[in-house]
Structure 1
Amino acid sequence: MLPMHAFNNRAVFAILVVLLVGLPTVGLAKDADYRLAIIKQGFQPQALSIPAGKRVKVLVHNKLVRPAEFESYDFTVEKVVPGGTTVPVYIGPLKKGRYKFFNDFAQNMQGKLRVR
């Protein structure tokens, strides 16, 4: 039979392991990945839909040689995307609605974010 102090330490250790292993699934939602490309003609897709009330990760891939800047005044983001690279942009949580974004280095290149 194990001494009482050994049982308590093992029980405490087991509880801590269960809590730490279960932590990522309890209350912490994994970021959803969305994809957006910057091409010569503009953003692809031009309109991106994301869920309301959730933080999402948008992978912005710049297919151009020159850098672009993914920017929005509506949901406050500003991220330079060097040519030929992909960068993660975290958005939200946002309320339902429509938001605009653009390439600050070519402001005629615009897109829409639909939050549902």
Structure 2
Amino acid sequence: MPAILRLVLPVLLLALWIPGARAADEVLVKLTIKDHRFSPERLEIPARTKVVLLIRNEDAEPEEFECVPLRREKIVFPGGEIRVVLGKVDPGEYPFFGEYHAATAKGIIVAK
């Protein structure tokens, strides 16, 4: 086996293996916006585990998911779906809201 192949092959195998390992450690949590409300309003997630929110907007107007303590803010267009990576969250409670309909679009993330 050529020397270059002996050096490159382990790196390529590692590169192929790592994405699979990361996907297995990821938790996907679904959140829906309908009638200017988030559903569910209370999200329980595992603490210190990579969490990705999949947010779908079923309203005819855009909404903005905002979680100030976790520094996440993203617009969800009507009929659209977005992914918000929360990362590994410490145990605790983190309020979130929809900036465009803050009176009704609100909830809390509870990391346990």
- What is the CA–CA distance in structure 1 between the aligned matches of 2:15 and 2:72, rounded to whole Å? 33
**Mapped pair 1:94 → 2:89:** yes
**Aligned AA for 1:66?**
E
**Mapped pair 1:60 → 2:55:** yes
Percentage identity across aligned positions?
26
**Mapped pair 1:15 → 2:10:** yes
Q: Unmatched 5+ residue regions in structure 2? A: none
Partner SS state of residue 83, structure 1: coil
Partner deviation per Cα, 1:18-76 (whole Å, 9 max, x = no partner): 33333334xx5223211000011611111111111122110100000000000011211
Q: Unmatched 5+ residue regions in structure 1? A: 1-5
What's the TM-score, normalizing by structure 2? 0.83
- What is the CA–CA distance in structure 1 between the aligned matches of 2:10 and 2:67, rounded to whole Å? 45
Query: Would you identify which runs of 4 or more consecutive aligned residues in structure 1 move more than 2 Å?
Result: 6-25
What do you get for the CA RMSD once the two structures are aligned? Answer: 2.0
Matched residue count = 109
1:1-116 alignment runs, 5 A limit: 6=1, 8=3, 11-12=6-7, 14-25=9-20, 28-30=21-23, 31-40=26-35, 42-108=37-103, 109-116=105-112
Structure 1 residue 11: deviation in Å? 4.2
**Aligned AA for 1:72?**
C
What's the TM-score, normalizing by structure 1? 0.80
Given that 2:36 and 2:59 are in contact with CA atoms closer than 8 Å, whether structure 1 keeps it comes out as no
| 11-20 vs 99-108, which moves further | 11-20
